[in-house]
Amino acid sequence: MNPADPHLAKTRLLDFDATSIAKLIEERGWADLPSDDRIGAIYDFVRNEITFGYNRADDIPASEVLADGHGQCNTKGTLLMALLRGVGVRCRLHGFTIHKALQRGVVPELVYPLAPSEILHSWVEVDLGDGWVNHRQNFGFVRDLLYRHVIRHWMNARVRRIRRGILPPVPGFDRPNRRHEETNRAA
């Protein structure tokens, strides 16, 4: 490991030298695995053994996420990065914002108006030595072709409408969006 490499560095959030994280890496034997297996085993751990849930804040150290035993995209990403860096895998974080409407149903309606309109979403990339890699959804040939040339454009149009405040009908969501109804009547 090159401690001067910022993609391997320990940070306040990526506290891979914390006892609980170092012990987990040791117990699982991740450092002894070949690089691809190391990445896969750590990814599987965070995805499958750290349940989805909300921590007290997004900017908590990885050791706290591990102690909580749950996290969401941002905090699970922090834990994933700490574990990866703890075994010498270069990684970095990417982020963007999503509209709060994408979390409708999870955020209780009573407090939904208090939620910020834009919410941070993030993911982790790893360097496999020949470039940075994102986890890619395996759709299969036909679905991938449809996604690349039709579906993603349709989805992007829906996202643009959501950003303008026009919510599409959602099955099981019994409170229609008035602006959506007005737009449909005008069309």
What is the number of domains present in the chain?
2
Pairing of strands 118-127, 91-99: antiparallel
Q: Is residue 181 part of a domain?
A: no
Q: Is residue 10 part of a domain?
A: no
Q: Is residue 108 part of a domain?
A: yes
Question: What pLDDT, in 10s, does the model give residues 60-84?
Answer: 999 999 999 999 999 999 999 999 9
Do both 152 and 114 map to the same domain? no
177: pLDDT strictly greater than 60: no
Task: Tell if the pTM clears 0.85, that is, is over it.
Answer: no
CB contact at 8 A, 70 and 51:
yes
Do both 107 and 161 map to the same domain? no
Question: What pLDDT, in 10s, does the model give residues 93-105?
Answer: 998 888 888 877 6
More confidently predicted of 137 and 30: 30
Buried b / exposed e along 133-151 (16+ C-beta atoms within 10 A): eeeeeeeeeeeeeebeeee
Q: Is residue 29 part of a domain?
A: yes
Beta bridge partners of 95: 122
Do both 131 and 119 map to the same domain? yes
Residue 146 is part of which domain span? 137-167
Do both 142 and 53 map to the same domain? no
Which residue shows structure tokens 């303008």?
Answer: 164
Do both 75 and 155 map to the same domain? no
- CATH for 127: 3.10.620.30
